Amino acid sequence: MDADKIVALVTAGGIELTDRRRNATDDGWSLSFANGATVEVGDDGSARIGGKGTKAVARLLDPPRNA
């Protein structure tokens, strides 16, 4: 799953994207959402969810669910 698809799915669920930037190692994207969730999306398609709103975002992405 790429960053664009994740943003589309999460924002369609009413959770606004608040920040999007390349990660420190330049091998993926770091996304932040208004509910406090963050999603680290690797260029290889991996995704890791963290932060306060993890469950809500995981439910919208489903899979990945590797928070």
Token representation of residue 65: 């669910």
Cβ distance to another protein smaller for residue 42 or 51: 51
Cβ distance to another protein smaller for residue 59 or 66: 59
Q: Single out the residue of 45, 55, 65, 66 in contact with another protein (rule: CB under 8 A).
A: 55
Letters for 1-40 (x = contact with another protein by CB under 8 A, - = none) are -------xx-xxxxxx-xx-x----------xxxxx----
Rg (CA), the chain: 10
**6 — phi, psi (to 5°)?**
-65, -45
Token representation of residue 13: 């669920």
